Chain A
Amino acid sequence: MIALAEIVPVDRAEHMTATQAAKPLVRLSRVSKSFGAVRALSDVSVDIFAGEVHAILGENGAGKSTLMNIITGVLQPNTGTIEFEGRNVMPLSPESSSQLGIAISYQHPAILPDMTVLENLQVSLPARVFAGGRTDVIARRLLDDIGLHVALNARVETLTIAQKHLLELAKALAVDPKVLILDEPTAALDQDATDMLFQRVRKLKDAGTAVIYITHRLAELRQIADRVTVLRDGRHRGSMLARDITNRELLDLIVGRTLASAFPPKCADAAPQVNFAVRGLSGGKFTDVSFEVGRGQIIGIAGVEGNGQSDLMRALAGLQPSTGEIVMGGKPLAQRTLKDMAAYMPSDRHAEGLAADLTIRENATFAALDRFASAGVLSRRREVEEVRGVFNSLAVKATGLEARVGSLSGGNQQKVVMSRALLSEPAYILADEPTQGVDVGARFEIYRILREVSDAGTPVIVNSSDAAELEGLCDIVIVMSRGRVVETLRGNEITEARIVGAAVEADTQAHHIDEARRRADGFGARLRHFAQTDNATVIPLVVVAAALALFVAGQNENYLSAFNISNILILATALGFIALGQTIALLMGGIDLSVGPLAGFLVVIGSFFINDGNPASTMALGFVLMFGAAIVVGLINGVLIRFANFTPIAATLAMFIGLQGMSFVLRDGPGGYISFGVIDMLTWRVGPVPVAFVVMVALAIAFEVGLRRLRPGWQLRAVGSDEQAARRIGIRTDRTFVLGYVAVSVLTAVGAVMLMAQIGVGDPAQGVNYTLGSITAVVLGGTSLLGGRGTFVGSVLGAVLLTEVLNAVSFMGLSQSYQYGFQGLLILAAALIYTTARHRREA
């Protein structure tokens, strides 16, 4: 580099450095990052300037996302430094990064599907964004700015993919960032939205924001970028002003790799007989795909990741529905037979390819067990022989057939997946990213095997984001962009440059399934909206409770007497408080089985202190001990679940049994009568209505409001809705979970106080049923078992309804059998109705 001073006079040079070539806003110096043995970034230095759009280009796996995660503090570099405004800001965390004014719009939006649009904005953005104005007005403006026209109270789950991306962009733009990172923001957007985004980006740039723009598309780079940096294989290939470089030169920088080794020879026959064809196939994220494979040909599917290729592969494997024709040897295949005929080698080996728990042999054979069995009983000898045979021909290197599959290298793991595909004797093979995470030596063996399979007459279809691999391996390559085939290359046309060129230069529009925009006006619309809220269950619950009351009153008029109503409400109060606690556990996506025994245990504790004849201070101590014990139990539950990797069921089940034992250790039978004064106070009524019940309802309403209006409420639902997204937007998930379980226990303690007033004595056998009762009440109320959505008011109504049912059973002189039966039917019916209703909405 030539110093400015050498070509211009010193004073001018200083002037220029101060104004034009200002100091970089962010400077990354010699940053390296490795994941295990894989080097994601080596020695990368980049300067980001204020008031510029800086594009980062590179193929999949070039290290772009890793670099961004380092700037946002999600990942820590192994070596190197990050400077912000000239200051070393290492180490960077997501929180400190956003405090510096760095905002990111993720490629996979960090949004919470169970929360509304407004709540997503509120939980992700700092409070200052909403200061000085009405929240809904400000939120509306944020969305209008980005052209996202959806109702603020719409659940994010119901948005289209494009709308979700716009919401993600709105969040990043809302904070007026100094550095804005956009990770492939246009992948899901149509032309209008893209234009609007570019306008916003230019405006921000003019106002002095540094924009980092990650993209695969050269066309976009030309429209928006001032400066461009190219990464390849984790290395910095060059940074320059965008106007100084041609597309051709950029492509060379992006690709620029020569593959030294030999691929197996391609199909010699120029026009072989077609044995596999796809005609007009449409499905999930792809439209109207057609191609033909001849005997001995390998077909490649190319394109920038996420343009419908993997959906196409899954549809061909029969794992996703599709329309159109798949023809094999002249005959069209039925949808349901695809699964049995295809051998699919998934791209995500760990999630879908291998069962880590099983041995190498078991992994290789679980799709082909029929072949080693007579009358359903396996012959170990035949299995081992076959596996040895295929392992030998694939040159699998392992210490033994019975080793864990996880002990193999990536390449050998992939060969095990391949062995499974071959052993199942498939009609055709689908290899999705067959060499991802595979070392160079094994790669060429995999190519050789695929070629041999193809030569033997089995059609082979390879999806790969590595264009060089497709160039070397395939006889035909189709290039996909936004779900459509934009180019079909054959023979000599198949070059890495043509493949990459076709993929990045394509300007097809995002393919959209028609979005039915709901009209957001009129009573009908409001009713529809209410039916989708978490509180929608309130109406059917009230109707059922009222109908049941009238029915039983018809049988026995005393049922609706003031005494009985008061009785039901008192009983419902203990269950209601515990159900409120259980609601919190379910909102977090967990469950607390220990609430019942905890309530019983706390009553036993109380029965030692809260007796007639004890001074008030002793009684107060009793209450303090009850709540103190509850807090300890909640902490233990939370810590076991979050820090000792217990599942919520395991931790709280152990607690369930442990607490039951503790109760019996403290008292081996009923004893310790509770003070009548205290009982009278707790069950004090105004007319037929117990005050405690009113308090519980008020508390439920307050919680309900807090759940939707206050930050802790949003955080609770956020961690239950999508824990990872919650972490990315800066929520301290572990703390939220532990505090959540403490809250469950404290509410259970309040319930225990009411339970104590009901039973009036310390009985170690009491309380256990409240686990089933509370879960029934919460499920009846409509809280989702998957976390993220729920209703406190519904849980209270569920508790009232359940108590009413149990009371009606005894009122009508039915046996205990009916009590259990109704409770079981209620919980199952409610779970079935709510679960199927939600599934339908998701579909």
Chain B
Amino acid sequence: MADTTPFSFGRRFGLMAVPLAKGFATIVVSTVVLIVLCAIFAPSAVTAGSLMGSLPFASVLAIVGLGQMLVVQQGGFDLSVPGSVSLAVVIATHMPNGNDAALMQAVLVAFGFALAAGVLNGVMVAYFRLNAIVATIGMNALLYSAVFAISGGVPRITTKALAAIAGGQTLGIPHSVIFALAVLIAVSFVLKKTVAGRRFEAIGANPLAARAAGLRVKPYQALAYVVAQLHYCLAGILIAGITREPTAFQGNSLLLPSVAVVVLAGTSLLGGRGFPISVVIAAFFLNQLSQFALSIGVPYSAQTIVQALALVFGIGVYSIDWTRRFKTTKQHSTEEENHENVEV
């Protein structure tokens, strides 16, 4: 019996401790297997040149995924990814219209919009108890309304400065990769090392327990949507720099992958602990999977099917944990106190 052994302090702890194990191991092993498969069947997908071409997109996906992760951690779901990424793209290209001097201003405006959208999402979901799907679907439509108001649906060419900042390389490393790593470090540090981050994780893991322990749950739930929007905005600005002439619908293709990387990294869609490092690796994995599929001749149009299958696979891997979570939540819901139950 585990009970009879006295308490021992011999184990190591830290960011890489036990809870990380399952999701982290799954995604790392999958990635390694994928690279090996690439090396055997599609060597062209793992050359330095092709990696330099695809890594920026993996980085953008990583940043969007980290944002989505925060929302999913609180048991939410953010369907406004396409609108907010597209809006950031459009603002970053249309406002300066090729003029480097106006870039800074455009970036600030983009973040201002993101902040407003995030606050609205957060207030609607956390305080007015709106269903997260409906709130963010509505917000997505509003964001697209702004996209069309600004751009009329027509693309414009990126400024040179932005192309250099977002699309350039330093010491052979694409800048977007550096951005993604910086965001990863920031998110990991705040989540794991600060009071606010640890409370955020506890609230996501069990809002009822957090409330019973006296924590204020709603502000943290709302905050998830705000910070997520800032992530999407940064991703959008990076896309504007990486792509020479980005379309007004650049964000559409990011919605499903953003959810898929969160799930592949091991965060339950019912909320709970977040795994920032795993999310970033999952973004690389998903991106590489597309490259692999292309190299072995799967048509470009079928890419989304590959992504959908990856998502289904990801959920399938963790579904054992899910069953347990489902059962515990169901057993304890008594009808008289159901009003505050967290919607899945």
Q: What is A's interface to B at a CB cutoff of 8 Å?
A: 108-109, 113, 161, 317-319, 339-340, 342-344, 346, 348, 350-359, 361-362, 365-367, 369-370, 373, 376-378, 380, 384, 388, 391-392, 395-404, 407-409, 411-412, 420, 424, 439, 591, 640, 644-647, 649-650, 653-658, 660-662, 664-665, 668, 722, 724-725, 764, 772, 775-776, 779, 785-786, 815-821, 823-825, 827-828, 831-832, 835-836, 839, 842
For the A-B complex with A355-B209, A388-B9, A724-B333 known, give 9 more contacts whose Cβ atoms are closer than 8 Å.
A367-B215, A378-B198, A396-B7, A647-B269, A653-B311, A661-B308, A785-B343, A817-B148, A835-B131
Please tell me if the beta carbons of B256 and A654 are within 8 angstroms of each other in the complex: yes
From B166-174, B179-187, B316-324, the one touching the partner chain is B316-324
Determine if A668 and B130 form an interchain contact, defined as CB atoms under 8 angstroms apart: no
Given contacts A355-B205, A831-B130, contact A820 B144 (CB under 8 A): yes
B211 to chain A: closest residue by CB:
A319
**Shortest Cβ distance from B70 into chain A, in angstroms?**
15
Asked whether, in the complex, the Cβ of A353 is within 8 Å of the Cβ of B212, the reply is yes
Residues of chain A contacted by B215 (CB below 8 angstroms): 366-367
Smallest Cβ distance from B19 to chain A, in angstroms? 6
Q: Which 6 interchain pairs have the tightest Cβ spacing?
A: A824-B141, A821-B145, A664-B301, A355-B205, A351-B332, A661-B304
Which residues of the other chain, B, contact A649 by a CB distance below 8 angstroms? 77, 133, 269
B153 near A820: Cβ-Cβ < 8 Å: no
**Which residues on A sit within 8 Å (CB–CB) of B133?**
591, 649, 775, 785
With A399-B11, A644-B319 already in contact, the answer to whether A817 and B149 are too (CB < 8 A) is yes
Is there contact, CB below 8 Å, between A403 and B312? no
Closest chain B residue to A821 by CB distance?
B145
A668 touches B259 (CB 8 A): no
Q: Which of B135, B199, B212, B316 has the most CB of A within 10 A?
A: B212
B336 to chain A, nearest CB (A): 8
Main secondary structure of the interface of B (DSSP, over half): helix
A78 to chain B, nearest CB (A): 19
B58-83, CB under 8 A of A: which get 1 and which 0?
A: 00000000000000000001000000
A-contact bits for B242-286, CB 8 A (1 contact / 0 none): 000000000000011001000100001110110000000000000
Which of B10, B211, B268 gathers the greatest number of chain A CB atoms within 10 Å? B211
- Give, as a whole number of angstroms, the nearest-CB distance from B134 to chain A: 5
A200 vs B88: C-alpha distance in the bound complex, in angstroms?
A: 70
Which residues of the other chain, A, contact B137 by a CB distance below 8 angstroms?
772, 775, 827
Q: Is the CB of B334 within 8 A of A344?
A: no
* With A356-B206, A404-B18 as contacts: A319 and B212 at CB distance below 8 Å: yes
- B17: min CB distance to chain A, Å: 4
Nearest CB on B from A784, distance (A):
10
Contact B198–A357 (Cβ < 8 Å) = no
Collect the chain B residues with CB atoms within 8 Å of residue A377's CB. Answer: 193-195
Contact with A366, one of B8, B213, B324 (Cβ below 8 angstroms): B213
CA distance A409 to B128 in the complex (A): 39
Q: How far is the CA of A644 from the CA of B273 in the complex (A)?
A: 22
Which A residues are in CB contact (< 8 Å) with B324? 356
Residue contact A397 to B7, C-beta cutoff 8 Å: yes
Q: Is the pair B330, A724 in contact by a Cβ cutoff of 8 Å? A: yes
* Chain A residues with CB under 8 A of B339: 842
Chain B min CB distance to A795 (Å):
14
A399 contacts B142, C-beta separation under 8 Å: no
Kindly state whether residue B160 has any CB partner on chain A within 8 Å. no
Whether A658 pairs with B2 at a CB distance below 8 angstroms is no
Residues of B within 8 A of A412 (CB): 3
Closest Cβ of chain A to B243, distance in Å, is 20
| Interface size range on B against A | 35 or more
- Measuring CB to CB, which residues of chain B are less than 8 angstroms from any residue of chain A? 1-11, 13-14, 17-19, 77, 124, 128-131, 133-135, 137-149, 152-153, 193-196, 198-199, 201-202, 205-206, 208-215, 255-256, 259, 263, 268-270, 272-273, 299, 301-309, 311-312, 315-316, 319, 322-326, 328-336, 339, 343-344
Cβ of B145 and Cβ of A397 under 8 Å apart? no
Q: Is the CB of A831 within 8 A of B209?
A: no
Determine the distance from Cα of A842 to Cα of B305 in the docked complex, in whole angstroms: 43
Distance between B170 CB and nearest chain A CB, rounded to angstroms = 29
Note all chain B residues with C-beta closer than 8 A to A396. Answer: 7
Q: Given contacts A366-B199, A369-B198, A369-B199, are A647 and B145 in contact (CB under 8 A)?
A: no
Closest CB of chain B to A375's CB: distance in Å? 9
* Given contacts A358-B201, A401-B11, A725 and B335 within 8 Å (CB-CB): yes
**Which residues from chain A contact B152 at a C-beta distance below 8 Å?**
815-816
Is there an interface contact between A661 and B302, defined as CB atoms closer than 8 Å? Answer: yes
Do B193 and A647 have beta carbons less than 8 Å apart?
no
Complex: A109 Cα to B336 Cα, angstroms: 10
In the bound complex, residues from chain B placing their C-beta under 8 Å from that of A342 are 214
Flag if B311 contacts A815 (CB, 8 Å). no
Q: Specify which chain B residues have a CB less than 8 angstroms from the CB of A645 in the assembled complex.
A: 315, 319, 322-323, 326
- Tell me how far the C-beta of A423 lies from the nearest C-beta in chain B, rounded to whole angstroms: 10
- Whether A828 lies near B138 (C-beta < 8 A) is yes
**A817 contacts B273, CB within 8 Å?**
no
A contact residues around B330 at 8 Å (CB): 724
State how many angstroms separate the Cβ of A75 from the closest Cβ of chain B: 13
Residues of B within 8 A of A318 (CB): 214
A-B contact pairs, 23 of them (CB 8 A): A108-B335, A342-B214, A351-B329, A352-B209, A355-B205, A355-B210, A356-B324, A357-B19, A357-B206, A380-B14, A397-B4, A407-B2, A420-B213, A591-B133, A645-B323, A647-B269, A654-B315, A657-B305, A724-B330, A815-B149, A827-B134, A828-B124, A831-B135
A109 CB contacts on chain B under 8 angstroms: 335
In the bound assembly, the distance between CA atoms of A665 and B269 in angstroms comes to: 30
